[in-house]
Amino acid sequence: MSFTIDDTTVVSSRTDTVSGSVHVVDPAGIDSVWVTVGSEQQVHDGGFSRGFTATYRFITPSGQQAGTHIPMVFRARDVAAFETQKDTYVVVVP
């Protein structure tokens, strides 16, 4: 699994977005892909494809404290129910 994050910072003084893409390859086929930012989650149906790419976009509210790390989780499951996960974060800036 690989992923991109368009901008690894969000601005505290305004509503901002976290967006990018996630790419998963599995010879058995991809069942589902989940992307989580903070407490919000998006689920993508892999359609049992051997390779799957999805884009994501989350809106983050203004007023978050500068320096806060907003957790991100990328998780994928194949048709045999094997799961993989990668964790990272974006940072709130003034």
β-strand partners of 56: 20
pLDDT at position 58 = 98
Q: Which of 44, 48, 41 is nearest to 22 (CA)?
A: 44
Structural tokens at position 48? 């049992």
pLDDT at position 88 = 99
Q: What is the DSSP string of 2-71?
A: EEEES-SEEETTS-EEEEEEEEEE-TT-EEEEEEEETTEEEEEE-TT-SEEEEEEEEEE-S-PPTT-EEE
Domain ranges of the chain: 2-93
pTM greater than 0.75 (yes/no): yes
**Domain range 2-93, CATH class:** mainly beta
In this prediction, residues 36-58 reach a mean pLDDT of 98
**Distance, CA of 94 to CA of 78 (rounded, Å):** 40
